[in-house]
A and B are shown apart, each in its own frame.
Chain A
Amino acid sequence: SQQGEEDPQALSIQEGENATMNCSYKTSINNLQWYRQNSGRGLVHLILIRSNEREKHSGRLRVTLDTSKKSSSLLITASRAADTASYFCATALSNTGNQFYFGTGTSLTVIP
């Protein structure tokens, strides 16, 4: 079953604009990961944020985590056409072992 839910389901922006995707989950987590997927095949790991962290950066990516609201956001700044992909959050739940569960994903289209 899927524990997270991304919002919006689809997002279309112009190149150069910022893209924000949100992930909401239902139960306490140990950590949360964001992934990118092109063409329905391999997932590329972007950022892992732990439950005691509030914000992490990696290049043009910024991830925030609000455990009180059970939500996370992924911000891509100065988007490029190559950022076009599906983005997923994956939550490692506190009451499970080492498993992690994916959300439904956000499909991002960056228009050149």
Chain B
Amino acid sequence: GAGVSQTPSNKVTEKGKYVELRCDPISGHTALYWYRQSLGQGPEFLIYFQGTGAADDSGLPNDRFFAVRPEGSVSTLKIQRTERGDSAVYLCASRLGQGTEAFFGQGTRLTVV
């Protein structure tokens, strides 16, 4: 596609529920990233995929967070037993490779009530 696409753009869920956030990267981009951004803060690194594998998941805050990229393209960020503190904008980015520009989607605003 023309750019990185994230769905849904907004998600409101109840505390304790499970949510999935989707990212469609730019076609051909092998690297994919998830970030989380709280109001007034810079984006916080969560996880990075190179192809199908998670090359670095050190930014995931705890084991309630999990992400997959089974075919090396679309990625899904999964959050179990959501908490109010998970409320943030979740951003996805993709890039061709190391040293190239990374392009971001518009993000998913997650609100846990």
Tell whether, in the assembled complex, residue B42 and residue A2 are in contact, meaning their CB atoms are under 8 Å apart: yes
The distance in angstroms between the C-alpha atoms of A1 and B100, with both chains bound, is 22
Within 8 Å CB of A33, what residues of B?
Answer: 101-102
Tell whether, in the assembled complex, residue A31 and residue B104 are in contact, meaning their CB atoms are under 8 Å apart: no
- How many residue pairs at the A-B interface have CB separations less than 8 Å? 72
Contact residues on B (Cβ < 8 Å of other chain), bracket: 20 to 34
Which of chain B's residues 70-111 have a Cβ closer than 8 Å to chain A? 89, 91, 93, 95, 97-107, 109
Tell me how many residues of A have a C-beta within 8 Å of chain B.
Answer: 28
Which residue of the partner chain, among B35, B43, B55, B109, contacts A97 with CB atoms under 8 Å? B55
Within 8 Å CB of B41, what residues of A?
Answer: 104-105
Given A40-B37, A41-B107, A104-B42: A99 touches B56 (CB 8 Å cut-off): yes
Query: Given known contacts A42-B106, A88-B42, what 11 new A-B pairs fall within 8 Å (CB)?
Result: A4-B42, A48-B101, A88-B43, A96-B56, A98-B97, A98-B98, A99-B33, A99-B48, A100-B102, A102-B35, A102-B44
Q: List 22 A-B contacts (CB under 8 A).
A: A1-B45, A33-B101, A40-B37, A40-B89, A41-B89, A42-B91, A42-B106, A42-B107, A43-B104, A44-B104, A45-B104, A48-B100, A50-B99, A88-B42, A97-B48, A97-B50, A98-B31, A98-B95, A99-B45, A99-B48, A100-B45, A102-B43
